[in-house]
Amino acid sequence: MLRRSLILGSFLLIGGCLDNATTMMKSVVPVQLNSNEPVIAQIDKQHKKSMLAVGADIDRKRNQSSGLGLIKHSALENYANEQLTKLKKASGFESAPGRVYLFADTAFGARASADGNIYIPYAVIIDLKSSDELAALLAHELSHTIRGHSSSDIFVKVQKKGLAATSMVANFRKSDTGVVRSNDMKNIKKTMASVLITDGFINPGWTRVQESEADKLGLDIMIKAGYNPDGMFVLLDKVAQWDEKNSHIQQQRDAVLENMLGSFKLTDDKSALGQTLNSYFAQGATRFGAMVDSLNKSHDSAETRYDALLEYADKHYGDISSPALETRRWNAVAQNNSTKTMWQALQDTLAAREAIAQGNYRSAEKLIAKAKVHAQDQNFVNQTLYELGDAQRKNNTMQNGLNAGLKGQYPSLFLQVEKTKLASAKADKVPLPAAQGLANAFDAYGRPADYYNEVMTLLSKSDMKSQVLALQAECVAKYVGEGISCNVGDEEKDKQGADFSYKNMMKSFL
């Protein structure tokens, strides 16, 4: 019998599925489903590739270069993908692309990309208590892929805003900030980027109708695959708690950012951006988080959506018999020592990053040393080690972080960019082999939008001027009017005359 718990918190944060979409187009989602049959009985069983898809492997590489990237945990990944395969087969979309990946973040939620990849913050894995809860989360995300929700106009609009905000953070320039020290500005950028990455998991990018369809189809798929549908309702019982935890996470990160910005005096900076920062951040960095959060406040209440799903279940499934919740295999893979030590390493790393932001380098060193004991080959540890060395201006620490990260699991494109910077740190010119290596890496990672500026700037310092011009033309053609900086170096404006100032960026969110 389906469990009838009442949820009073926010519903299905698991629908917060953001990817790198940037092109506006008409929705290809069917107009309406009738209520007389289960959703699964009405859908076309032939998978249609999303118009925003870039390829599952490229999509994964772009995501491993976002924030602290992905966590490699073979046992967990294999088990989660085993469940996803089972759900795909039951849904009739066995050939649908995409795999499950674990994201290095402590926020609660999940998101599916246009390529069908599903990204789950590691914190969620720790909180789930059965295979059926995992299946509920995966079935919901798979449903977004099946229904082609990533091709809808509203979803694309949310992606554009998120991409523009990320680009704005990535392209702060030293010349824009006057008296703020270079390392201080790097800390600001990293902390603001962290807020945006977390927001991608916390706040949904779907419409009410899309979420409702994913709720219902997800339940259909779970039942057809032989899972206990109570797993969905057990999961929903946790969503209200997740909402509170996510709110606390956002407040903590906003507070760190506000504290950092509150210590900076920008009044000597006469640039337009400097003056805008003065007035804007005088009101507190929490406005930054509030701005991002406001993009996604268009969903039904938890109670309304829960009641709708319960009504749907009663109508189409009644008092069906279900197997017991599966916990034995789940506990073996998700509650063992290696999973828990990885979780502790991630928490220590995030604490180290906060210490770096506050200038407490001694504390950061201890925390990173502790994290490396159990996660020495993970990108989140080695990227943070590099950033610690950068903040301390210790080249040996920076090099150690780069070497370990590039040889480790799911290396970020960030490390490739920084490797090139180090190779040219003592010269005005980037050596050609280093520049070619960066260009090849940029191609291999699918040319993420928020990396164009740094990559082009570095290549412009080598003998690859023609490639820079080609990349700049490509950047403008793809992202004109979307807040992406196609500048090379510290130019105030790119060649098409677009205004990429902070003030103009903020106007686009109003």
For residue 287, the model assigns a pLDDT of 41
Per residue in 101-111, pLDDT tens? 999 988 778 88
For residue 106, the model assigns a pLDDT of 82
Q: What are phi and psi of 103, to 5 degrees?
A: -100, 140
Tell me how far apart the alpha carbons of residues 23 and 148 are, in angstroms, rounded to a whole number: 15
pLDDT of 200 over the 60 cut = no
CA 120, 123, 127, 129 torsion-angle sign: positive
Amino acid, single-letter form, for residue 1:
M
Tell me how far apart the alpha carbons of residues 237 and 10 are, in angstroms, rounded to a whole number: 10
pLDDT of 273 over the 50 cut = no
Most confident of 133-137, 212-216, 251-255, 258-262: 133-137
Percentage, residues of the chain above pLDDT 90: 46
Per residue in 459-489, pLDDT tens? 999 999 899 999 999 998 888 766 677 888 7
pLDDT of 117 over the 90 cut = yes
Q: Which residues, in sequence order, are CB contacts of 28 under 8 Å at separation 6+? A: 48, 51, 148, 151, 152
Of residues 198 and 286, more confidence is placed in 198
For residue 194, the model assigns a pLDDT of 55
For residue 171, the model assigns a pLDDT of 47
Helices (H), ranges, 427-509: 432-444, 452-459, 465-479, 502-507
Per DSSP, the three-state class of 350 is helix
> What average pLDDT does the segment 179-185 reach?
49
Per residue in 255-267, pLDDT tens? 665 665 554 444 4
Window from 67-76, 327-336, 357-366, 475-484 with minimum mean pLDDT:
475-484
Write the DSSP symbol of residue 24.
-
> What average pLDDT does the segment 227-234 reach?
90
Window from 46-50, 249-253, 285-289, 369-373 with minimum mean pLDDT:
285-289
For residue 374, the model assigns a pLDDT of 94
In 3D, which of 33, 77, 104, 96 has the Cα closest to residue 378? 104
Which two tokens mark 206? 């779907």
Per residue in 399-422, pLDDT tens? 999 999 999 999 999 999 999 999
83 — pLDDT class (breaks 50, 70, 90): very high
Per DSSP, the three-state class of 431 is coil
Return the number of other C-beta atoms located less than 10 Å from residue 66's C-beta.
24
Q: Which residues, in sequence order, are CB contacts of 115 under 8 Å at separation 6+? A: 19, 50, 53, 54, 55, 56, 58, 59, 97, 98
Q: What is the 3-state secondary structure (H, E, C) of 225-275?
A: CCCCCHHHHHHHHHHHHHHHHHHHHHHHHHHHHHHHHHCCCCCCCCCHHHH
226 — pLDDT class (breaks 50, 70, 90): very high
CA 251, 253, 256, 260 torsion-angle sign: negative
Q: Which residues, in sequence order, are CB contacts of 138 under 8 Å at separation 6+? A: 80, 83, 84, 87, 100, 118
For residue 306, the model assigns a pLDDT of 77
Tell me how far apart the alpha carbons of residues 422 and 174 are, in angstroms, rounded to a whole number: 18
pLDDT of 507 over the 60 cut = no
For residue 459, the model assigns a pLDDT of 95
CB of 401 closer than 8 Å to CB of 385: yes
Per residue in 420-460, pLDDT tens? 999 888 778 899 999 999 999 999 999 998 899 999 999 99
For residue 496, the model assigns a pLDDT of 40
CA 123, 206, 412, 349 torsion-angle sign: negative
- Partnered with residue 179 across adjacent β-strands are none
